[in-house]
Structure 1
Amino acid sequence: MSATLEALSKTLNTHLGDRVKSLEVAFGEVTLEVDAADYLPVMMSLRDEPALAFEELIDLCGVDYSTYANVPRTGRRFAAVVHLLSVSRNWRLRVRAFAPDDDFPSLPSVTAIWNCADWFEREAFDLYGIVFPGHTDLRRILTDYGFIGHPFRKDFPLSGYVEMRYDPDQQRVIYEPVTIEPREVTPRIVRESTYGNTDNA
């Protein structure tokens, strides 16, 4: 472990104390995990504590851990993962907090701490269904307003539920059940010489 990562880990443990649920150093990065109840106060400490001084939020994303790394997982399913940067201290940190309820995942919004989290939280809501109480404009950002479901959840069907098209007769956009026909896709280099030839059937 580098001296910088060791110093960061020690500083985090000193200033956050028992709010640190776990602290890992891997692949040259520090990952801090906190409980949902401690998420907001920890984030405020990370920004305001002079010894930590994480002035910038670089990224915030949702994660569905239901089958993380192709292995079924026990425990909570949805988490927000935040990447922070301290320019003055020249160090980075990853913070993870799991939503306590898988049926209605929810974590406090950090937009009052870093206002750049606005669109990141909207994306996590849109794609994973994670709700961020305290966000002033939590609505879909990538999918259509009438979209059903959250497409980055691992149980979301690959072809979706409905498809959208413009109907010239009704002169409006309409939604219909998905009509995608499953088909076999075989790379050309491994096809048999008779692939697709119905004469030999």
Structure 2
Amino acid sequence: MLTIFGYRASINVRKVLWLCEEMNPAYRMENWGGGTRSTSEPEFLRLNPVGMVPAIDDAGFVLWESNTILRYLAASRGRKDLLPDDARLRASIEKWMEWQVSDFNNSWRVAFQGLVRRNPDYQDKEVITRSVAAFSDLVARIGVEIDRQGGYVCGDSFTLADIPIGLSLHRWRALPAEKPHLPVIEAYYERLCSRRGFQMHGLNGGP
């Protein structure tokens, strides 16, 4: 039995939950973080010494870091449609996953904390405006790539790259700020909305 440790409102936990819906493995959820059990407790730190969610226990194999978990689960379950064996195709998918947790996330962190979380440490309006603009610029660039690729981030079919990118785009659409109208992104978002995993852990999972 696969166990997922985390809380459902976390965007990184929702990546793993969405993938599980795509693959239909049996799993159980154990709540940690986000106001549930503290991830600084020794029990959790034995799973992940840096104290972050998600973590998983797959029949005794413990792993943490959300995008690494996605790659492991897809590969271990033989889902070559989501993560091919071919080194070049696989690298094309993985580069978007790595970019999502670095440059893409950094672009929206201030705007999200200030406008959605209402974090008092992120209330400088000028800095928020710059964050929204940077976020929107990167979303527009993703739209160009989706259009060039044929409908999804890495081609004309859904792959592992669409999970982290799709959840970040959901966060962009949820920002209560003026944003450009991007038809390719809207069409892509509608395609994601047809997937049960996104319905459950994107649309209903929060921004």
| TM-score, with length taken from structure 1 | 0.24
Larger radius of gyration, structure 1 or 2? 1
Q: Which has the higher strand share?
A: 1
- Per the normalisation by structure 2, the TM-score is 0.24
Structure holding more helix per residue:
2
